[in-house]
């Protein structure tokens, strides 16, 4: 994995962990995520339109744009339900970890991308570190194994799905208009929330500064990942971005008060070791 791709993914990891923590703090997580998607659309549209005017829209990208909109709508819904029913320190590692475990396997069959031995070790360490974090004592009221993990698991599947779709999509169109079209499509499909949850929409919009911050962080984080997809293998990018697990351990413990810090950092160190392996792999 090149140094440039690694820098992009590390920055994306920090932004990703941050906006997810903001979403967890929302009163209605699904509505918060939809409002943040609108903010993301507003933020990225000027540059996206300018890029389309310069480069045009290749028809070959259309199926991937449509597919990523559908998968991202499912992702935001599943993520919102997961945060509504579980602790950030449980939901985030399970969802992100499952995405790491699935993507390299699927990429092998879809893109014929074969991880090097060091890269394979790195992916294994990332997954092991996430498993260690999952085994830590959880705060009172957090879901245990069983139905409480349904939404985080479904979120993980959607992460694997959009990662593979987007890897193919950004090979056909510039990442900036690609993410603009994805965000605007998700925002449009979420409009029924105005009818079914009008009170929740008004409550979330009262904290519009947090929504705007989360939206900008989300857009920037995913744009960086899309550019990294152009520079490195899917498995490496998706695994390296799980450095956000390290940051989620800090956020969950220090900001959200979900448990002691030391054991979470121990598990996070395993993840970091995996990221190092992935970074040095060729």
CA neighbor of 13 nearest in space, from 5, 24, 23, 2: 5
- Over range 92-99, report the average pLDDT: 78
Which pLDDT score, from 0 to 100, does residue 134 have?
66
Residue given tokens 């790195």 in the structure block = 122
Contact 24, 90 (CB under 8 A): no
Max Cα distance, the chain (Å):
54
Give the pLDDT band (50/70/90) at residue 19: very high
Contact 175, 226 (CB under 8 A): yes
Based on C-alpha coordinates, what's the Rg of the chain? 18
Which pLDDT score, from 0 to 100, does residue 23 have?
92
CA distance 197 to 31: 8
- Over range 146-153, report the average pLDDT: 70
Which pLDDT score, from 0 to 100, does residue 145 have?
45
The H-assigned helical ranges of the chain are: 3-24, 29-55, 62-85, 88-110, 117-134, 150-169, 175-189, 193-196, 198-205, 208-229, 234-240, 244-250, 261-280
Q: What is the pTM of this model?
A: 0.82
Which pLDDT score, from 0 to 100, does residue 133 have?
67
Q: At what angle do helices 175-189 and 208-229 cross, to 10 degrees?
A: 140
Q: What is the 3-state secondary structure (H, E, C) of 204-237?
A: HHCCHHHHHHHHHHHHHHHHHHHHHHCCCCHHHH
CA dihedral over 19, 24, 29, 32, signed as positive or negative: negative
263's CB contacts (< 8 A; 6+ apart) are 136
Coil, strand or helix at 102: helix
Give the pLDDT band (50/70/90) at residue 264: confident
Coil, strand or helix at 62: helix
Residue 210 in this model has a pLDDT that exceeds 60: yes
């Amino acid at each position: 994995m090149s140094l440039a791709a690694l820098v992009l993914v590390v920055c994306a990891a920090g932004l990703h962990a941050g906006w997810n923590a903001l979403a967890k703090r929302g009163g209605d997580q699904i509505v918060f995520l939809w409002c943040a998607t609108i903010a993301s659309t507003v933020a990225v549209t000027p540059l996206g339109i300018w890029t389309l005017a310069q480069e045009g829209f290749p028809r070959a990208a259309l199926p991937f744009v449509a597919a990523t909109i559908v998968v991202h709508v499912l992702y935001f819904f599943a993520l919102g339900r997961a945060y509504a029913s579980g602790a950030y320190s449980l939901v985030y590692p399970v969802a992100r970890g499952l995405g790491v475990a699935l993507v390299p396997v699927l990429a092998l069959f879809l893109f014929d991308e074969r991880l090097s031995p060091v890269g394979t070790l790195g992916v294994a360490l990332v997954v092991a570190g996430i498993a260690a974090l999952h085994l830590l004592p959880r705060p009172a009221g957090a879901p245990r194994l069983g139905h409480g993990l349904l939404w985080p698991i479904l979120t993980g599947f959607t992460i694997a799905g959009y990662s593979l779709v987007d890897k193919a999509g950004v090979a056909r169109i510039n990442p900036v208009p690609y993410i603009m079209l994805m965000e605007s499509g998700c925002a449009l499909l979420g409009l029924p929330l105005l009818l079914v949850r009008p009170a929740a929409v008004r409550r979330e919009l009262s904290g519009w500064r947090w929504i705007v911050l989360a939206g900008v962080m989300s857009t920037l984080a995913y744009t960086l990942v899309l550019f990294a997809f152009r520079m490195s293998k899917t498995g490496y990018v998706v695994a390296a971005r799980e450095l956000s697990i390290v940051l989620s351990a800090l956020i969950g413990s220090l900001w959200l008060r979900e448990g002691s810090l030391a054991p979470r950092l121990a598990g996070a160190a395993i993840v970091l070791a995996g990221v190092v392996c992935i970074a040095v792999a060729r």
